Chains A and B, each alone.
Chain A
Amino acid sequence: MQVTLQTIIGGISLGAVYALVALGFSLVYRTMGLVNFAHGNVVTVGAYLASTFYLSTKLPFALAMIVAIAVTGVIGLVIERVLRPLENKDFDLMLIGTIGFGIVLDALIIMIWGATGRAVPSPVAGAPIELFGLRIRTYDLVVLAIAALATVLLVLFLSRTKRGAAMQAVAMDHEAATAVGINVGRSNAIAFMVGAGLAALAGGLVGPLLYVSPTLGGALGIKGFAAAILGGFGSIPGAVVGGLAIGVLDSFAAGHFQGYSELVTFLVFTAIIMIRPTGVFGERTVNRA
């Protein structure tokens, strides 16, 4: 029992990061109907930016994160602007465009920061907290709290604000959204910006947990993508549940199957998706022909 609980706790902080990555995928999908395949690469950019501001510029960790989120958000805007002409031509082209942009980002990352990675020390000092015989790292709690806060803010934005409703309307019906006066291009730009901001948040937070390297985003991207699908692609609560589930699954698999842990994680994921293809919170939010 004790071991099981400790394993779950071990998986939750990475799970929260997967959830943040999944939120970015789901937000762009929910508001544009687009799967942004560059998302994982944007996570890497965010991780490098945050660690650079933290380690080289010596900014406090929180401030380094905020600056990294802002800069990465601008990169999201640039991606949308470059791909925008493809949207009206053929939506599939835009999807392929995101794959291309991901490759470009990868190349830029290696040019700027090199092919080797860097370790980021934990910004939260202090020994793990002992609770009922379980050990919990303080930084894990920080990650969990920030992920929870980001989720709540995102849900409030989509459900309570006019802009949030309008952004979801765009994915549901492009033409009707235009007819009521919504600027579709601007809505898409905001989706990409917020999505990139979430990617940077995930990348920055994961720095002290994992090694920051050019392949970081690839690994996180695929886990976050799986998390989004597991929860129900486009669903915000689904992204969180999916992320935590993949994190815990990872933790168990790592404990029991060592080298084969990734294989086991994705086998279980595949089995769940075969039983429930729409994911846990599957709903139809997007109507793209």
Chain B
Amino acid sequence: MKARTTMKAETLSVEGLTVHYGGVCAVRDVSFEVPAGEAVGVIGANGAGKTSTLKAVMGLVPRQAGALRFGDLDLSKVAARDMVRHGVGYVPEGRHVFAGLSVEKNLLLGAYAKPWKAATRQTLGEMYELFPVLGEMRGRLAGALSGGQQQMLAIGRALMSRPRLLLLDEPSMGLSPKLISEILVVLQRLRAEGLSMLLVEQNAKLTFEATSTCLVVENGIVAMTGPVSKLRHDPRVRRIYLGL
């Protein structure tokens, strides 16, 4: 995955993002940036609009935005299924692996948008190195994996397309503290390799460890934003999101 550091610098910029479901406004006028090579977190309670924000960036829900760009590319004109072809990988909430297909097929489908060649095999090898447990389970049906293994598979599947920006939706959901720390190690390694990340999480502790800048979303609007070093010491954030 060394090639990533030499990729052109692309910033994800989101301005005035709004999402409506019927008459209900889930996200209102949210703006943020994910500079190339940076990891940005979005924390908030259940129903605050975190997942909607991520799905809106991905184009999986109808959205309005003043600007929605990835580098020079206008994302508002890109269909959800083409995002991966522009270097955006997506790890859905609740894992959503292809339960009836093998682990290896799941990973290979992550590279669906590219021809399956020797390079794909090589990326597959890298995934088994990053997640050794997936290598051991490569022939198993994805539905038969544990929650933690499925989460790793979902991340691995997204990485198979060699994205330049990774969107992650609640990778810690339903996992034990031990597994959460394993996921954290992976996220930190990806970050060190220069992969841009947008991480949506209820788990503020994990998010603060994995990212450098964070947005706090409440009721569909950005309540607070700033570097993790600062948010970590904010009394309100400490009380509500860190339970201190």
Contacts and interface: CB of A to CB of B under 8 A. Distances in A.
Interface of A: 162, 165-166, 168-169, 172-173, 175-184, 283-287
A166 B109 contact: yes
Contacts of B84: 179-181
Contacts of B135: none
B59 to A, nearest CB: 9
Contacts of A181: 81-85, 112-113, 161
24 contacts: A166-B109, A169-B101, A169-B109, A172-B99, A172-B100, A172-B101, A173-B98, A173-B99, A175-B60, A175-B96, A176-B154, A176-B157, A178-B60, A178-B80, A179-B80, A179-B83, A179-B89, A180-B110, A180-B111, A180-B161, A181-B82, A182-B81, A285-B100, A287-B99
B100 A168 contact: yes
A10 to B, nearest CB: 36
Given A175-B92, A179-B83, 14 more contacts: A162-B116, A165-B109, A168-B100, A169-B98, A172-B98, A173-B96, A175-B60, A176-B97, A177-B98, A179-B89, A180-B84, A181-B82, A182-B112, A284-B143
Contacts of B157: 176, 180
A172 to B, nearest CB: 4
Contacts of A183: 81
A162 B101 CA distance: 12
A178 B157 CA distance: 13
Nearest to B108: A165
Contacts of B89: 179
Contacts, number: 75
Interface of B: 58, 60, 80-85, 89-90, 92, 96-101, 105, 108-113, 116, 143, 154, 157-158, 161
A162 B107 CA distance: 12
Given A176-B92, A176-B98, A179-B58, A184 B112 contact: no
A283 B108 CA distance: 22
Contacts of A169: 98, 101, 109
A173 B154 CA distance: 12
A108 to B, nearest CB: 34
Nearest to A182: B112
Contact of B98 (A162, A168, A178, A184): A168
Contacts of B109: 165-166, 169, 177, 180, 182
B60 A184 contact: no
A179 B80 CA distance: 6
Given A166-B112, A168-B98, A179 B143 contact: no
A179 B96 CA distance: 11
B200 to A, nearest CB: 14
Contacts of A285: 100
B99 to A, nearest CB: 6
Nearest to B93: A175
A179 B90 contact: yes
Contacts of A284: 99-100, 143
A176 B96 contact: yes
Contact of B92 (A162, A179, A182, A287): A179
A90 to B, nearest CB: 14
Given A173-B96, A175-B96, A180 B101 contact: no
A235 B97 CA distance: 20
B178 to A, nearest CB: 26
A28 B112 CA distance: 21
B197 to A, nearest CB: 16
Which of A166, A176, A184, A286 has the most chain B CB atoms inside 10 A of its CB? A176
Nearest to A170: B98
A163 B161 CA distance: 17
Nearest to A163: B112
A30 to B, nearest CB: 9
A172 B92 CA distance: 14
